[in-house]
Each structure stands twice: as structure tokens, then as C-alpha cells.
Amino acid sequence: MSFVAAVLIFGIIIMIHEFGHFLFAKLNGIGVIEFSLGMGPRLYSFEKGGTRYSIKILPFGGSCMMLGEDEENSDQSAFNNKSVWARISVVAAGPIFNFLLAFLLSMVIVGLTGYQPATVMEVMDGYPAKEAGLLPGDLITEINGRNIHSKDDITLYIQTHAGKTITVEYKRADGNGGVERCSAVIVPQYSEEDGGYLMGVRFDGVAKPVSGLGQLLVHSAYEVKYWIQYVFDAFYMMFHGEVSLNDLSGPVGIVTTIDDTVDQVIPYGRTVVILTLINFCILLSANLGVMNLLPIPALDGGRLVFLFIEAVRGKPIDKEKEGMVHMAGMMLLMALMVLVLFNDVRKLF
């Protein structure tokens, strides 16, 4: 059942992405040839309003095939015959819908579990935080210029910037009802016991409930921001040689990870399982949104680059040249997918 849930999560996230393209294509009067979930041969399909809706045999991927998207077509409803801003809205809608899904699910998580501010509960002996003067009750607000909204933000930064010197900005009650702003320079210390670098502070593990819609919206936005930052920090680690291509996971690896994690939390009850699945949805949806906005040919971000150039210069780039760029990008992406798939399968055995 956990494997089925993992596959469903992956399918829902991709469906939402493609639905964004589909909805804005319809709103802009663009003909949609097929809207499909999955890849490969069709398992089931039906046609309505000039569009074929399909479920395909492989539950990874999906598509929204639009009329005149990759070739010249004289039909008024063809994608390339619409205004550049209409096309931009259609291409951008997929990633934006992924961010919207992540935000809505974050509202569920935050509404049910609350939020955990980065308020220091304990300063550990023998670690740099104590030497730098941090005290229980201090609220950490920034690390190296990055805004901190929760204790998880701190953990993420230190894990992805291992051993780096950090400047910590924090607030401290001054004893007169006011707050003073303080700063400390800290070099996290490696802990054999924890297997990572630590400042030497512990945070209160009890979450605070949100009070009112405004606070719910704000902390839900912070939750999405955290997962988006997670993706960029992963890139940072790759560029600095701390993560290799062999560490990357594709659809098979992601489904396997979800399956294994769900199996581990099942003993803690249905609620924990559901919250775990929702967290995976947020992570993957934010990840898909970010990845698709990267200016890489064949991805939504690469297509947006060409569309924004067209908007600035007032005429499109030669379609044959653009097609060649996207084809080269697609070949590189396919090669990467094959490598990632190989890694995923290798890890299974």
C-alpha cells in the first residue's frame, strides 16, 4: 500500500503541473490535442471538447499536447499563433501550479502541526555557540544574511554549508520589555555522535499553533520557501563536490524512498503516515516547480527564455534554430535520465 501511495503522489504532482498548462491553454483559446497522465501506451482514454484525456501505462510523467506547439500551424487556435504573453502564461502555469499545490499542502501541515521558531532552548557545553555568548531564549533571525524563520532553516544551512564560518543574527529580550539585536560569528563544530556539524544549540521541539488566517498564510509561505531553498542548497552542494551525480534520484528512487519512509512511520499511526506523505508532496512539488523554471532547453524555463526574448525584441527567434536548441537540451536530459534511472535500479540491488 505504501508503494501505491508513493506512485499516486508522484502522479498527482505531475498531473497538477500538466493541469496548469492545460487550464491556461484553454483560457487562452489554445487547442489541446491530448492531456495525459503517465507515459507509454494508453490504458484508458476518452475524447471530449476536441481533447483526448488519457491514462498511460507508466505512472511517471505526463503531458499536455497543444496544437501547433512544436510546428507551424495556420489554425487560429494553434499555440504559436497566440500572443507572446498568452504563451508565456501557458508555459509558466505548470511550475506555478506546483508552487500553489505546495502552498496549499503547507497550509494543511502548518494548520495541523503549527510552526517551530528558531528560539534557543539550550546552549550546549563545549560547542562554539556558548563561547560566542548565545543564551537560552535567544531568537535566531539570520545566518550569513539568510532569513531564518524556523529551526529547520538553521539545520538546512549548516548541513549544506558544512564547516563554513557563519554570522548569526539574533534577538534577545533586554529585561525591560524590549528586544536587542545581537550578532555572533560561529564556526560549527563536527560531532562524531551526530555525524554532522553543530553550532551547539538545541531548540524547543514543541510546535506553536498558528493564530488566525494571516499567521497560517505567512508560515505556510515560509514552509514552501524552505523546500525551494532545499533544492537550491542541493545544487550548491553539487557545485562544491559534496553531492555527486550518483547521489541523484529519479522517479524510481523517489518512489522507493517514499515507500521505505512510509513503512518506517506506519507503527506511529495513520496521522503520522498522512503527514509524512503530505510533506513528500510539498518537497516534490516545490522541486518540480524549481527544476522546470531552470533556463534549460526543453524545460519550461528554457522555453520561457525564448518567449521573453521574443517579447523584448518584438519578433520570435527562428523556429528551426529554437527547435535545434530544445532538441539538444532534450537529448542531454534523456542522457541524464538514463544515468539517474541506472543509479536508481543499482541502489535497489
* pLDDT tens string 307-342: 999 999 888 888 788 888 888 888 887 777 777 777
Cβ-Cβ contacts under 8 Å for 11 (sequence gap 6 or more): 37, 38, 59, 62
What was the pLDDT predicted at 59? Answer: 72
Grid coordinates representing 179? Answer: 528586544
pTM: 0.87
pLDDT of residue 347: 67
d(CA 130, CA 200): 7
pLDDT of residue 60: 67
Q: Identify the architecture of domain 116-206 in CATH.
A: Roll (2.30)
Domain ranges of the chain: 88-115+215-348, 116-206
Torsions phi, psi for 149 (to 5 deg): -115, -15
Q: How far apart (Å, rounded) are the C-alpha atoms in residues 245 and 251?
A: 15
Which residues are the active-site residues? 18
Element (H, E) at 224: helix 213-239
pLDDT value of position 1: 59
Residue in the block written with cell 523584448? 312
* pLDDT at site 178: 84
Q: What's phi and psi for 195, nearest 5 deg?
A: 70, 30
Provide the CA 233 distance to its chain's centre, in angstroms: 11
Cα–Cα distance, 33 to 28 (Å, whole number)? 15
Q: What is the pLDDT of residue 349?
A: 66
User: Which residues of the chain fall below pLDDT 70?
Assistant: 1-2, 60, 243-252, 344-345, 347-349
User: What do you get for the CA distance between the two ends of the chain, in Å?
Assistant: 21
